[in-house]
Chains A and B, each alone.
Chain A
Amino acid sequence: MVTLPPTRSFGLLLLLGFCACRPTVEGRPSLIDRPRVLALSSSPAEGKPGDTVTYQALYVGPDGSADVSALDWALCTARKPLAATGAVAQACFSPKGASLIALGSGESAVGNIPKDACQVFGPTPPAPLKGQPNGRPADPDTTGGYFQPARVLAHVPGDAEDYSVAMTRLACGLGGATQEQAASYSQGYRENENPALSSLALRHQGRAELLELAPSAASPLAVRPGEQVTLRASWATCPLTSECGDEICGPGETLATCPADCTTPHGCQGSEPYAYFDPLARTVRERRESIRVSWFANDGSFEHDRTGRSESDAAVTYTDNNWTAPDTEGSTLLWVVIRDDRGGVGWGSYNLLVER
């Protein structure tokens, strides 16, 4: 007998449709009104067990600066319970513990990916207990990735302990596939590259042209109080097919077939193509990264907190958002964070002058 899945969510959504009674709960993530971690990056974005990784934090406050010495870094070696909805185990959110490998404090930290990361967080089956069959490997994310977590604890004076999580994508290979599929995957997959903003431009006062903003400019562009401007974040265009000599060591290229690109391999800093193993269809196919941009400001308001391009829209290499300047004059800080869905992160900091 078919047991019907829970209908509660649908029922509540229907309720919302009838009476438009979803309450507005205060708070916008795009408004920086206290010290916050806006992004954490891992360089490289993807690594093998044992690789050295550098973590970086974008930690800001309402006036632009925040005490980065308050950031305490640690790698977490605990895997979350299978049915937990969060990204990492509860044990990671502690100042100290057996599941934590301290990495130091500050705006950045360096650590080595644990040797057993692919067994703890990846597709390699965990070591069986005595007399037991293999443990269950971790499930990959929607891009086929597995991640080593690192936790950041921000000691904010007068505030509760503020935890954040950074992720390093693990290069663990493919689990549960045939040899043929594994070979196909290996040939088509290239480790992720962190994306980067190629530009942030502004259109205002009804003009058609876009004015590019320089990061943390000494002479920022000026907008009027209360003016709505359009901001455009752009990123690199990634080739859909690999060509030797394009400075990108892409799928199908190896050190042997294209030393020019793969001697020091670089990926593309936009929407990269990558090989993906579909766990249900059990086939290997090529996909493109989706790109998300998160917008932050210490004043004014964005129309959207985040914008981006989905995988099906990956050919477009920019995204727009409207920002309404505050009514008061002064300098406004903007932070724009770009992410690809394989876990890569990049950001830029900008400023605007609000004056009449």
Chain B
Amino acid sequence: MKPYISIAATLAAVLTSWVATSAAQSAPAANSSSVAPARTVVPPKLVHFVQAEYPASEQAGTGPVSVLLLISIDADGKVAEVSVAQSGGAAFDEAALTAAKLFEFEPAQVDGAKVPVRIQYRYDFVVREAAPPPLPTTVNFDGTVRVRKTGLPLPGVVVGVDAASSTTDQAGRFHFTDLSPGTHSVTLSGTGFTPTATEETLEAGQSYDASYDVELVAVQARGEQVDFELVIVDSSLKKSMAATTVSSDQGSRVAGTGGDVIKVVENLPGVARSSAGSSALVVWGAAGTDTRVYVDDVHIPMLYHEGGFRSVIHSDLVRSVELEPGGYGAAHGRGLGGLVSVGLKPLEADGYHGSLALDAIDGAASLRGSVGDQLRFAGAVRRSHLDWVLSQVTSKDVGAFVPIPKYWDSQLRVAWVPNSRETLEVGSLLSSDQISRSVSQADPAITQHESKATGFERTYLRYEKRLDAGGTVTATPFFGFDHSRVASLFGAVPAELSNNATVYGLRAVWSGNPEEYLNVSTGVDAEVVQSSLRRAGSITSPPREGDIRIFGQAPSDQINGDAWNTTNASLAPFAQADMSLADGRVHLVPGARIEPAIVRASRRTPASGDQPSLGTMREQTFFEPRLAARWSITDRLSVRAAVGIYHQPPLAEDLSAVFGNPGLGAAQALHYLAGTTVKLTDSLSFEATGFYSQQSDLATRSPLATPVEAQSLMQSGLGRAYGGQVLLRRDLTDRLFGWLSYSMVRSERTDAGTKNYRPFDFDQTHVLTVLASYDLGAGFETGVRFRYSSGYPRTPIVQAVYDSHTDSFQPVFGAHNSIRIPPFYEFDARISKRFSFGQESKLEVYLDVQNVSNHQNPEEIVYNYNYSKKSYITGLPLLPVMGAKLTW
């Protein structure tokens, strides 16, 4: 409370004076022999006090000041005269005299008679805390809306608070006055970003100045992101307002995701449905290895843990997940497919928060907080316990037969925020997966042991600064390790592939607005990967795309071995400009990336006898122009198009002189896409996109029986993917959100030695996803999801041949990938209940039920011993998963 200066007077009258006066006037002479009778004396009583003005010339709070006054009071109680007996300073004296002259008293009495008297009165000037003002009954709510990545204010955003609305001005400011205290629904809508909603709890009598950073998406007005990016976020708002939290994210509410925000990616248009137990991410018909995954500019090798149950980043740390299936800008490269960017939440100095979560699959915890205003931290850890759960509900040794994934991950972030414009963050991302099983058989030739271990570690440093001119600078150097080892023993046939890599990377970007109509971002993207590999077994085990094989089929018993090292390095400067034309209705985004790259392999030929190992190195420089354009025809209708060239270095696994080709170079892709966005209502939008991707120089198997040494792979494969996708999306308003996405994608490849295209191994022509989530109130929330997808292609078996050497039948195949597994469809449902404790703590209990209809979805074809009969492995039956999450 703000103190105010008050003046309080204290009566400190001293009656000696008037007693003396009275005695002098009434008493006989001192030598009188008679004894006067005792008198009854009643002092004057102050009945009307007047507060003195605190002198304006004097500074308040300097300490108590007193003025001793002599006040003469007549017989009527009026102040006859006032004088200063002891000064407190001229100004104080004057103030005290003025006030005292207005005093009124009950007259003094002597023996019942009113008499005039003179008293001493001390007037004290003191500093007091202000008395509390009357409690206000309304609240004012102001704020600013900015573009998150650039920090620029965003005008024209309609901010709604309940029924009221305010449009942001050129400074991005909005104002609301005289709102009633309590929880309000706050919505943000406008051109260029997805309408978003949150809740604010406003207390009467407090002043609020909120800051909302919004993520611009497909129809962004002046952001640096390219078109066709779809943002699914826990909230696309980032708020810096203290003591309030963002409302629960949309991603975690989607049925079938188990509350994992990143798992929502699987439901986006253009993404093929992963088969049960798979963690592959197939985007627009590109191989899983062709889609790059970044966490705040740090490249990581995988998005999901083995089995696809969970992502490798805790949802509490995730601000957004962005999927760009193709046509992305010049800032990224090295991938022929899509781009997944996981944005981490900014670290705030808003107290300590955390969560504990537990379900049948794993347990997780997160914590974030700050030390002072400048040092902030966040961490999370997760560990699976599915192996333990299954051992409790099935046989104890289930793990010996079933490959149950065991995984853990952890993230740690520490940020130093010296001022409002700069952030320096150091962080680490760790992930580890293990999976194994052993199956003993009476026949030693089919006894199996399989194990797989994967993991990665990343340590990064991230510096971000908002420049005075409105631009930003970010620099993110990182390094780390990737590990992967697959080992199996099928009878006596080994299959081993291990890869240990050290990864160094740097991404530095400057983004700014040199002109009002121009946004420019430029920077450098560097990456060095040094790999040490070892492989043993058949050339087709583990298989690669295009290999014709049957699930469960024994690997070829012709084996070999190799150990080799590789280096993939490239340094890519890039630049991109966003030109805003025609009053911002047309945006032209040209960009380019120049990437000199080297690929080195330690062996150019297989090891043989005493021959020394000779390495090989290949240098290539890629020029990758990119162009995107968008035209906002009306406020609700826009069209867009993009084209770009992309390259991807060869996989280290493919650079073996025995199993691959150490002379491989980069593969190339051309992306073309065009689409439109129609904003049907403030909360309902429709997007349609068509695309064509042409790939060349893909590494593919040599079709020859006796290929040239060290050329088991050839760089002559072609690929193409084409199709379209639509998305009808309702954003979170009135407690409901959801979307319908449909993709029709045809992805095809050629094999070496032929120009005939065949379906890609992971082609899914039709993928339909419909999902919705509804807030029932009282903390209850429910969601449903329906998915339909075409089955993966498979190669038919037209004949079987008995191999007396192995006492087994070998299939003879028909046309490559000319049949399909039957289509998949499934209903999932989710219901949750949130219990609130205090202002910020809550417990969410949820039940996520997959395959509500218990439909037996075929996932893979299996055959009998001589391939004369076939059947299907079916997917998960009705699977309820219950869990709980406590947050504070």
**Given that A11-B276, A15-B276, A304-B442 are contacting pairs, would A135 and B559 also be in contact in the complex, using a CB cutoff of 8 Å?**
no
Would A304 and B278 count as touching, CB distance under 8 A? no
Would A13 and B704 count as touching, CB distance under 8 A? no
Complex interface residues of chain B between 356 and 408 (CB less than 8 A to chain A): 390, 398, 401-405
10 smallest A-B Cβ distances: which pairs?
A: A11-B277, A17-B402, A280-B561, A2-B482, A310-B444, A135-B706, A306-B443, A40-B804, A23-B871, A25-B864
Q: Which residues of A contact B492 (CB under 8 A)?
A: 142-143, 290, 310-311, 341
**Given that A2-B301, A165-B801, A176-B608 are contacting pairs, would A15 and B876 also be in contact in the complex, using a CB cutoff of 8 Å?**
yes
Is B786 part of the binding interface, using a Cβ–Cβ cutoff of 8 Å?
no
Would A279 and B561 count as touching, CB distance under 8 A? yes
B766 to chain A, nearest CB (A): 20
**Given that A8-B278, A13-B402, A308-B445 are contacting pairs, would A82 and B707 also be in contact in the complex, using a CB cutoff of 8 Å?**
yes
Complex interface residues of chain B between 539 and 592 (CB less than 8 A to chain A): 539-540, 542-544, 547-549, 551, 553, 555-563, 568
Would A14 and B553 count as touching, CB distance under 8 A? no
Q: Number of residues in B with C-beta < 8 Å to the partner?
A: 121
Would A79 and B807 count as touching, CB distance under 8 A? no
Convert B643-677 into 0s and 1s, putting 1 for each residue whose CB lies closer than 8 angstroms to a CB of A.
00000000111000000000000000000000000
Would A85 and B547 count as touching, CB distance under 8 A? yes
Is A157 part of the binding interface, using a Cβ–Cβ cutoff of 8 Å?
no
A81 to chain B, nearest CB (A): 5
Is A309 part of the binding interface, using a Cβ–Cβ cutoff of 8 Å?
yes
Distance in angstroms between the alpha carbons of A5 and B433 in the assembled complex:
13
Is A37 part of the binding interface, using a Cβ–Cβ cutoff of 8 Å?
yes
Distance in angstroms between the alpha carbons of A79 and B652 in the assembled complex:
28
Would B652 and A3 count as touching, CB distance under 8 A? yes
A159 to chain B, nearest CB (A): 11
Complex interface residues of chain A between 1 and 60 (CB less than 8 A to chain B): 1-19, 21-29, 36-37, 39-41
Is A134 part of the binding interface, using a Cβ–Cβ cutoff of 8 Å?
yes
Instruction: Identify which of A2, A13, A179, A339 gathers the most chain B CB atoms within 10 Å of its CB.
Output: A2
Is A80 part of the binding interface, using a Cβ–Cβ cutoff of 8 Å?
yes
A281 to chain B, nearest CB (A): 8
Q: Which residues of A contact B531 (CB under 8 A)?
A: 2
Would A292 and B807 count as touching, CB distance under 8 A? yes
Would A306 and B279 count as touching, CB distance under 8 A? no
Would B859 and A81 count as touching, CB distance under 8 A? no
A62 to chain B, nearest CB (A): 16
Is A89 part of the binding interface, using a Cβ–Cβ cutoff of 8 Å?
yes
A301 to chain B, nearest CB (A): 14
Distance in angstroms between the alpha carbons of A132 and B710 in the assembled complex:
12
Chain A residue nearest to B605 in the complex (CB) = A133
Q: Which residues of A contact B865 (CB under 8 A)?
A: 27-29, 305
B-contacting residues of A (Cβ < 8 Å)? Answer: 1-19, 21-29, 36-37, 39-41, 78-90, 93, 125-126, 128-129, 132-136, 138-143, 147, 160, 162-167, 175-179, 181, 278-282, 290, 292, 294, 303-311, 313, 319, 321, 337, 339, 341, 343, 345
Q: Which residues of A contact B302 (CB under 8 A)?
A: 4
**Given that A16-B402, A17-B404, A90-B812 are contacting pairs, would A280 and B443 also be in contact in the complex, using a CB cutoff of 8 Å?**
no
19 CB < 8 A contacts A-B? A2-B301, A2-B482, A3-B499, A3-B652, A7-B280, A7-B307, A9-B450, A11-B279, A13-B450, A15-B276, A18-B876, A36-B802, A39-B807, A80-B705, A86-B810, A133-B709, A163-B799, A164-B801, A178-B609
Q: Which residues of B contact A337 (CB under 8 A)?
A: 807
**Given that A4-B301, A12-B275, A164-B804 are contacting pairs, would A139 and B307 also be in contact in the complex, using a CB cutoff of 8 Å?**
no
Distance in angstroms between the alpha carbons of A78 and B610 in the assembled complex:
31
Would B403 and A14 count as touching, CB distance under 8 A? yes
Instruction: Identify which of B277, B445, B527, B534 gathers the most chain A CB atoms within 10 Å of its CB.
Output: B277
A72 to chain B, nearest CB (A): 14
Q: Which residues of B contact A178 (CB under 8 A)?
A: 609-610
Distance in angstroms between the alpha carbons of A195 and B171 in the assembled complex:
90
Would B536 and A134 count as touching, CB distance under 8 A? no
Chain B residue nearest to A176 in the complex (CB) = B608
A-contacting residues of B (Cβ < 8 Å)? Answer: 275-280, 289, 299, 301-302, 306-308, 390, 398, 401-405, 435, 437, 441-447, 450, 452, 454, 456, 482-484, 486, 492-494, 497, 499-501, 503, 527, 529, 531, 534, 536, 538-540, 542-544, 547-549, 551, 553, 555-563, 568, 606-610, 651-653, 701-712, 799, 801-807, 810-812, 856, 859-860, 862-866, 868-877, 879
Distance in angstroms between the alpha carbons of A294 and B404 in the assembled complex:
32
With A16-B873, A304-B441, A341-B492 given, name 7 new contacts (CB 8 A): A2-B454, A2-B531, A13-B277, A14-B277, A83-B703, A292-B443, A310-B447
Distance in angstroms between the alpha carbons of A85 and B540 in the assembled complex:
7
Chain A residue nearest to B808 in the complex (CB) = A29
A191 to chain B, nearest CB (A): 16
Q: Which residues of B contact A126 (CB under 8 A)?
A: 706
Distance in angstroms between the alpha carbons of A303 and B442 in the assembled complex:
10
Distance in angstroms between the alpha carbons of A178 and B607 in the assembled complex:
10
Q: Which residues of A contact B497 (CB under 8 A)?
A: 5
Would B484 and A135 count as touching, CB distance under 8 A? no
Would B276 and A12 count as touching, CB distance under 8 A? yes
**Given that A82-B712, A280-B563, A310-B444 are contacting pairs, would A7 and B876 also be in contact in the complex, using a CB cutoff of 8 Å?**
no
**Given that A83-B539, A177-B609, A339-B807 are contacting pairs, would A307 and B442 also be in contact in the complex, using a CB cutoff of 8 Å?**
yes
Chain A residue nearest to B308 in the complex (CB) = A11
**Given that A93-B801, A292-B444 are contacting pairs, would A4 and B484 also be in contact in the complex, using a CB cutoff of 8 Å?**
yes
Q: Which residues of A contact B609 (CB under 8 A)?
A: 176-179, 181
Residue of B308, B556, B705, B708 touching A133 (CB-CB under 8 A)? B708
**Given that A2-B301, A15-B277 are contacting pairs, would A307 and B443 also be in contact in the complex, using a CB cutoff of 8 Å?**
yes
Distance in angstroms between the alpha carbons of A97 and B175 in the assembled complex:
88
Q: Which residues of B contact A311 (CB under 8 A)?
A: 444, 492
**Given that A1-B503, A8-B280 are contacting pairs, would A81 and B869 also be in contact in the complex, using a CB cutoff of 8 Å?**
no
**Given that A3-B301, A125-B709 are contacting pairs, would A25 and B871 also be in contact in the complex, using a CB cutoff of 8 Å?**
yes
Q: Which residues of A contact B873 (CB under 8 A)?
A: 12, 15-16, 21-23
**Given that A3-B301, A5-B486, A86-B812 are contacting pairs, would A10 and B445 also be in contact in the complex, using a CB cutoff of 8 Å?**
no
Would A1 and B301 count as touching, CB distance under 8 A? yes
Chain A residue nearest to B483 in the complex (CB) = A2
Distance in angstroms between the alpha carbons of A14 and B608 in the assembled complex:
40
Residue of A11, A25, A82 touching B307 (CB-CB under 8 A)? A11
Q: Which residues of B contact A36 (CB under 8 A)?
A: 802
B835 to chain A, nearest CB (A): 31
Would B651 and A3 count as touching, CB distance under 8 A? yes
Would A306 and B442 count as touching, CB distance under 8 A? yes
Chain B residue nearest to A134 in the complex (CB) = B709
Would A132 and B402 count as touching, CB distance under 8 A? no
Would A17 and B871 count as touching, CB distance under 8 A? no
Chain A residue nearest to B800 in the complex (CB) = A163
B362 to chain A, nearest CB (A): 15
Would A14 and B307 count as touching, CB distance under 8 A? yes
Q: Which residues of A contact B276 (CB under 8 A)?
A: 11-12, 14-15
Would B444 and A313 count as touching, CB distance under 8 A? yes
Would A87 and B810 count as touching, CB distance under 8 A? yes
**Given that A139-B539, A179-B609 are contacting pairs, would A1 and B534 also be in contact in the complex, using a CB cutoff of 8 Å?**
no
Chain A residue nearest to B702 in the complex (CB) = A82
Q: Which residues of B contact A16 (CB under 8 A)?
A: 402, 873
Would B802 and A163 count as touching, CB distance under 8 A? yes
Q: Which residues of A contact B454 (CB under 8 A)?
A: 2, 4
Would B542 and A6 count as touching, CB distance under 8 A? yes
A219 to chain B, nearest CB (A): 30
Distance in angstroms between the alpha carbons of A84 and B444 in the assembled complex:
24
Would B807 and A294 count as touching, CB distance under 8 A? yes
Q: Which residues of B contact A39 (CB under 8 A)?
A: 804, 807
Distance in angstroms between the alpha carbons of A311 and B494 in the assembled complex:
14
Chain B residue nearest to A80 in the complex (CB) = B705
Q: Which residues of A contact B864 (CB under 8 A)?
A: 25-27
Would A134 and B482 count as touching, CB distance under 8 A? no
Would B279 and A15 count as touching, CB distance under 8 A? no
Instruction: Identify which of B493, B497, B555, B871 gathers the most chain A CB atoms within 10 Å of its CB.
Output: B871
Residue of B452, B482, B493, B803 touching A165 (CB-CB under 8 A)? B803
